[in-house]
Structure 1
Amino acid sequence: MAIAPVILADADNTLWDTDSVFAQAQLGLLADVDRLFDPQDRVDPLGHIRAYDQALAKIDHRHLRYPPHLLVRALALGNRGHGPGEAARLTGSERTIANVAGAEEAIVERYFEALGRGPELLNGVVDGLVAARDAGFDVWILTEGSADRQRARAATLGITHLVKGVSECTKSIEQFDRQRRRFAPAPVFVIGDQPDRDILPAQTGGCTGVLVPSGFRPGWIGAAAWDAADYVADRFDRAIDWIIATTAPSRAAAE
């Protein structure tokens, strides 16, 4: 009897477009900071924000989960002429952020309000989930965020009936190895948008890694990492198509 593969799908920027929500929220935050200083003429405002964002993530132990008030301070320092790296190092200095202290709380509050606007499904997600279901594959959402929040989001976006459930865990080699053993003897495929968080630990843990790159590419990930997945697809449905095609011979032999 054929054993159908199990698919573990990342949520943010794999199933739905979280990056666009963050981009709009960050642009709003930058506009708020600019109102406290002389407006800046920038060719690429989002690129400017992301440079400071990544500089903070590199030196903060929480990485991209650092508190957003640090980004307010770093961008304010940027308006004073400090580059991303220097601004990131100076965010803890009260002397350098005195001009934004009074407005910081309101700026962060508006930022969180903007993040509260839910993302849209990415192109190809519904088609991919339907194809997986029709092929007899179980798809689980695997997230480092809140499982309850991701369940609610999946319900809002109308895909709950197309997935088996949502699992919450810190993505690590050990966790992916645990998932592999959980579903054995079924082969486990992991679909995600980031090489360092999704693909490499999945592969090392014994799963097959399928990368669907998002528009957000952290500066600390080397260029070679984006080609290290077992397969790279430009959309979720094409990732599913590859999984169906690559497992077809073994399923046919089992039958």
Structure 2
Amino acid sequence: MKKWLFILLAFTACKKENTGTNTTSKYISTVFEYKPAPGQFVNTSIGDSAAAQKLVGSTENVLTLGAFGGYVVFGFDHGVSKFGIYSNTIESLSEPGIVMVSQDVNGNGLPDDAWYTIAGDQYTNAVKNYKITYYNPGGYADVKWKDNQGDSGTVSINVYHTQVYYPSFISARDSMSFTGMKLPATLKDSAGLYINTGFAYGYADNWTSDYGTSGYNSFDIADAVDDNGNKVTLSSVSFVKVYTGQNSKGNATIGEISTEIRGAIDLKM
């Protein structure tokens, strides 16, 4: 009896493996929302709604998030606990993005439950509850902004990208606001060479030895914290949000600091 049971179980397992019905993907399965802040690549082939959808099932297509606060929300078709985010960072020019995660607590398949921040090495140094508002200039012109710290400035146009920098495909036509953590600025002029050094860990589009080896930044949900900075225990998450974490004007050569990503992968598959 046990022999026949073993044969039946083995046959069933082989049958399931060969049917191709297991559709679980290690890559992004859905992009739920894309809302970039103004930037030099917004309204281009790597900064529109179509570009956002190209993150699904791939790690080869670049998506810009624009200046501080601009974000994308995506999901996996299963729970993940460790994942990697691909980008286009290089050793001298990181554009760190803050990563948040969420569980599907209510089971509706939508990212509408509580969000938690992956606490990178700059968590204690970041400005919490930072809010910035960008104002639509109505054309190819500097985009003015004001924040809740009493500061103001612009996302400045440059001669290399001459399209409108304020996203033309969002509903907020006059102004748009973002709230999050603002990371310390790191842009430096080193003998005429502008560099933006990466942080030690915990951010997307951030040059580290980890990224140099694997081509992605890795994240563990064990590093997640709530809005008060308290560690939380999560068995797995279904949704990820990435947003540009620095408010840096950059300069006429490199433009503003804006996080870019190329996809994500479940590191346990």
Q: Which has the higher helix share?
A: 1
Q: Answer whether TM exceeds 0.5 for this pair.
A: no
**Structure 2 length as normaliser, TM-score?**
0.24
**Structure 1 length as normaliser, TM-score?**
0.25
